[in-house]
A and B are shown apart, each in its own frame.
Chain A
Amino acid sequence: MAEFSTSTKDAGDINVIYLNGYLDAHTAPVLENTFSDLIDKRKYSIVVNFKNLAYISSAGLGVFMAFIEKIRENSGDIKLADMSDKVYNIFDLLGFPLLYEIFKSEEDAIKKFNEIK
């Protein structure tokens, strides 16, 4: 089975989640737990770095939808960064760019968070 893992980085008020491997229906709970942990710690400014993500399925996309409402209610946001063209295309087809801010790099996403504050 394809492997998937996440790691997080605390960049001040902003937390970065790094995705690694194949995100599908079987591995989606891993990312769900990562989000849950951050929300439990009341961390609502989250950047997701897609640099090492090889594949994302519809169930993987669903994870972002599951948490975005709660995060935005707490005046936070999920910003997506560093996607490969292939991954971006999947997001783009579904219309995610209308719902999420997607950045070329992690730094840009963090900068955007800091601008607002």
Chain B
Amino acid sequence: MLNLKSLKIYGLEIKTSVKFQSFMGLTIILFIFRLTVYLPGSVVLVSISELLVLLTFTSLYAYLLELVKAKHVNPLSFVMNVGILNAVIFFLLTFSDWILSSLMTKTEGMAINHGLIANLLSFIYSYIILSSLAIVFLAFRELYYYRQKKNVSTYFNTMIVFFGLTCVANLFNNVIEPNYIKETFLLISILLIVINSIKISWIAFIVKKEKIALLVLSIIISILFFTNFASASDNFHNQVVIQFSPMLNQFLKIIMIYGAIYFSILFFTTLFHIPTAEVYDRKAQEVSFLQYFSKLITESHDFSELAETVTEITTKVCNAEAAWIAWKDGDEFKSMANKNIGYYDSNNMTKFIFGSRLNRDFSRSFIVNLKKHKNLPQLSEGYFHFAAAPIRTHNEIKGFIIAAKKDDFMFDDEDRDAMNTFSDYASVAIENSRLLEELIEKERLEKELDVAREIQRRILPSKNPDFENLKISSVFIPAFEVGGDYYDFFEIDETKLGFIIADVSGKGISAAFIMAEVKGIFESLSKTIERPKDILIKANEILQRTLDRKNFVSAAYGLIDLKKETVSISRAGHCPILLVRNNIVENLRPNGIGLGLNFGSQFVDSLEEIELKLRGNDIIVLYTDGITEAKNKELEDFGSIQFEQILINNSNKNADEISNKVIREVTLFSQSKPQHDDITLVILKWKQKLKNDGDTEWQNSAPQLKTQVT
């Protein structure tokens, strides 16, 4: 804001300004000059005085200009300042007779009174006028140049020249003849004022509310200027100012004329702008919203936030009472980001609009008036006018922005165009956020799977137990999405070895957690319970407390008694355990339901346990369906027949060689397909001790190869 008070403060603060210093210096010189050597009759002295006044005015004007340039000032505040100063001048003019005459002796006449107080008072009074004029003139100048695109300084400068000429001509009023020279100058000045006043270009850029304020202000200010002009002669004020400087008096009159003309024209211009103000405001709003929107798209990737913004802006720009986004969810629409309408209503309305009843091309935006429609759904509030614009990505319509109005004013083409623009922006934003979400989701999934694989790696045994007459080999290959395979060995004592193979239903981190739990259960149960059947029964009981209904675990538990040379096996829903003996594969498949499928007597009743006497070169094979269900590119299974054949063909080899062979075959078979489930294979090969001699066949076999893959 530019006003006297702030100027004073600036004046005190910015002491360094040369312009301000010269203004102060000139003021002092002028004051001393007036007080000492000045004589109103002398042409030379009057000319010097006028020159000093002109210089003072110019320096003040230049200083103020510097202040204004440093800041960006709203034209409306210039108008306000002009108004305030104009009011000040109005009061000075109105009350000058009363105030000044009470302090000075009027009858003596100012021309002959050289008293100090009278001089000081007239000086101060004239100075207030001079300062006000400087500010007002500055304001006019700024208003003139504001928002001017072309170089228009010629007109303004010419006008200033004629102002000067008018003032000078007035100074030599009595000397110069004929009189019409002065009047001609004044006439040209007025003409230039009119021309310059018409160039008001800044009105278009202010909003409607400001325009209305301006309308009122301009008429008041214009009247004030007229009044001031009319009352600026034949009174005490006039005498004081003329005595101080005839030029200033003339300039005051010119500025009053300028003000009166400028603000009259401003009033009418504003008046004519008012009807279009709304349209202009709306366009400006649209542009600023779009700017905001583009910013939002690049900064925010939260789809729901964007949706909220879209509907919010739609209601504002289209003057709609309600808006929502109907998002395609399969064959139906789902409402989101509702503004001023309930979800029940918006869902019903969407269904109605896009139902088969309205025969419309939905691939483009449209306006619809449903006021006379009979089957309109019953809404809690009566919306009748709707406008919709499709949101599409890759030529596929993802949803619609819908705006609704209650009253009789329909949506127009402008509204529809605006909504079209928003829907385009929304499409881009939606596509962006969707891509980002996918990326985040993918990364999250990969992180999660990393964790799952790490859990699995830690759960599985790091090395296989090793006995004199029992050699063990194990291979585990995790799938990308952890499959939940688990195997383990429990060395119960020197002559007893427990083993388990299990497959947890499901995949990923949830499967890995269940695996960890299963490991804990069998780890502890194997220490207290020996019989496989009893362990499985107990494990099922424990799992009942924690397992989700849709999760289950297939498992097989076995116990090898090295001293008695037997193996006992119980199976809870797992793949059969294979026994390779004499080139024949036997499927050991005692009855049993998977763990977690049934917690009643059915589980216990159905569970069987078998015991076998081990013979030399017996091979026990534990596996998960990752082997038999490994797929080739024709989506054929590796299958158990092929699996068994490989086992038979390699049965004379040691445990590691057999497992290597099987894995190689499975890998070859499914090389063109990504591995889709965990693969687990455990081979236990039994070597019967020779009765008499400690030297056994297997001791001469090749050193054990480490084939475990983790």
Contact = CB atoms under 8 A, between A and B. Distances in A.
Nearest to B677: A57
A116 interface: no
A61 B552 contact: yes
B699 interface: no
A61 B551 CA distance: 9
B506 A25 contact: yes
A37 interface: no
Nearest to A68: B549
Nearest to B591: A95
B602 A98 contact: yes
Interface stretch (B319-327, B337-345, B522-530, B593-601): B593-601
B505 A62 contact: yes
Contact of B593 (A25, A59, A98): A98
B630 to A, nearest CB: 13
Interface string B555-597: 0000000000000000011111000000000000001111011
Interface string A52-77: 00000111011101100100000000
B550 A63 contact: yes
B505 A99 contact: no
A58 B506 contact: yes
A93 interface: yes
Contacts of B505: 58-59, 61-62
B506 A62 contact: yes
A94 B550 contact: no
Nearest to A22: B635
Nearest to B640: A89
B575 to A, nearest CB: 6
Interface in B631-649: 637
A25 B552 contact: no
A58 to B, nearest CB: 4
Given A62-B552, A65-B597, A99-B593, A93 B575 contact: yes
A94 B503 CA distance: 11
Interface string A85-107: 01000000111101100000000
B363 interface: no
A93 B554 contact: yes
A34 to B, nearest CB: 14
A64 B574 CA distance: 18
A86 to B, nearest CB: 8
Interface in B498-536: 503-508
Contacts, number: 63
A30 B504 CA distance: 21
Nearest to A63: B550
Contacts of B596: 65
Contact of B573 (A57, A69, A93): A93
B606 interface: yes
A94 B507 contact: no
Contact of B602 (A59, A86, A99): A99
A59 B507 contact: yes
Contact of A58 (B503, B508, B576, B606): B503
A67 to B, nearest CB: 9
Interface string B423-461: 000000000000000000000000000000000000000
Contacts of B591: 95
A65 B591 CA distance: 19
Contacts of B606: 95, 98
Contacts of A62: 505-506, 550-552
A66 B594 contact: no
Contacts of A96: 593, 597
Contacts of A59: 505-507, 550
Q: Which of B550, B592, B637 has the most CB of A within 10 A?
A: B550
A65 B503 contact: no
B549 A94 contact: no
B438 to A, nearest CB: 15
Interface centre among B573, B576, B637 (most CB of A within 10 A): B573
Nearest to A89: B640
A113 to B, nearest CB: 22
Contacts of A94: 552, 554, 573, 593-594, 597
B574 A93 contact: yes
A1 to B, nearest CB: 11
B356 to A, nearest CB: 24
Which residue, of A25, A69, A94, A95, has the highest number of chain B Cβ atoms within 10 A?
A95
A53 to B, nearest CB: 14
B593 A95 contact: yes
A62 B508 CA distance: 15
Contacts of B508: 25
A4 to B, nearest CB: 14
A93 B625 CA distance: 11
Contacts of B575: 93
Given A58-B506, A59-B505, A65-B597, A95 B550 contact: no
30 contacts: A25-B507, A58-B484, A58-B504, A58-B505, A58-B506, A58-B554, A59-B505, A61-B552, A62-B505, A62-B506, A62-B550, A63-B550, A65-B549, A65-B596, A65-B597, A66-B549, A69-B549, A93-B573, A94-B573, A94-B593, A94-B594, A94-B597, A95-B572, A95-B573, A95-B592, A96-B597, A98-B593, A99-B593, A99-B597, A99-B602
CB-CB nearest 8 A-B residue pairs? A95-B593, A58-B505, A62-B550, A66-B550, A94-B573, A94-B594, A25-B507, A59-B506
